[in-house]
Amino acid sequence: MNPDLRQIRAFVTVAQLGSFTRAASLLNVSQPALTVQIRNLEEALGVRLFDRNTRTVSLTRMGREFVPALQRILRDLDAIVAEARDVAALRHGIVRLAALPSFASGVLPEIIAQFREANPKISFVIHDVIASGVVAQVREEQVDLGLTGGRIVDPDFEVLHTTQDHMHVVYPVGHSFGDMEQVDVEALTLHPLILMHPATSVRSVVDAAFLAAGRLPIVAAEATYMSTAVGMVRAGLGAAILPGSAMEVRAEQTLRSRPVDDRRFTREISIIKKAERTLPPASESFAHTLIQTLQTA
Partner DNA sequence: CAGGATTCATAATCTCAGCCTATTACTGTG
Partner DNA sequence: CACAGTAATAGGCTGAGATTATGAATCCTG
| Contact status: 9 vs DNA (CB under 7 A) | no
Chain residues 95-154 in contact with its own copies, contact rule CB under 8 A: 141, 144
Phi, psi values for residue 182, rounded to 5°? -145, 145
Nearer to DNA (CB atom), residue 31 or residue 254:
31
| Binding window for DNA (CB under 7 A); candidates: 33-41, 114-122, 130-138, 168-176 | 33-41
Quote the CA–CA distance of 43 and 2 in Å, as a whole number.
Answer: 9
> Considering only residues 36, 73, 173, 212, which one is a binding residue for its own copies as defined by CB under 8 A?
73
Site for its own copies in 219-278 (CB under 8 A): 276-278
Give the three-state DSSP class for 231.
helix
User: Max Cα separation, the chain?
Assistant: 102
Binding to its own copies by CB under 8 A, coded x per residue (else -) over 177-216, reads ----------------------------------------
Instruction: Write out the binding residues for its own copies, residues 143-162 only, by CB under 8 A.
Output: 144
Selection from DNA, its own copies, none that 21 binds (CB < 5 to 8 A by kind) is: DNA
Contact assessment for residue 203 and residue 224, using Cβ atoms and an 8 Å cutoff: no
Residue 195 makes CB contacts below 8 A (sequence gap 6+) with 203, 206, 217, 219, 221, 222, 223, 229, 240, 241
Residues 49-78 interacting with DNA (rule: CB under 7 A): 52-57
Q: Residue 280 and residue 58: Cα distance in Å, rounded?
A: 46
Closest CB to DNA among residues 28, 295: 28
Q: Which is nearer to DNA, 28 or 253 (CB)?
A: 28
**Which of residues 16, 31, 32, 47 is near its own copies by CB under 8 A?**
47
Task: Label residue 96 exposed, middle or buried (CB < 10 Å: 0-12, 13-18, 19+).
Answer: buried
CA–CA separation, 263 vs 247, rounded Å?
A: 21
* Interface ranges with its own copies (CB under 8 A): 2-5, 44-48, 51, 53, 60-62, 66, 69-70, 72-73, 76-77, 80-81, 84-85, 87-89, 141, 144, 276-278, 280-281
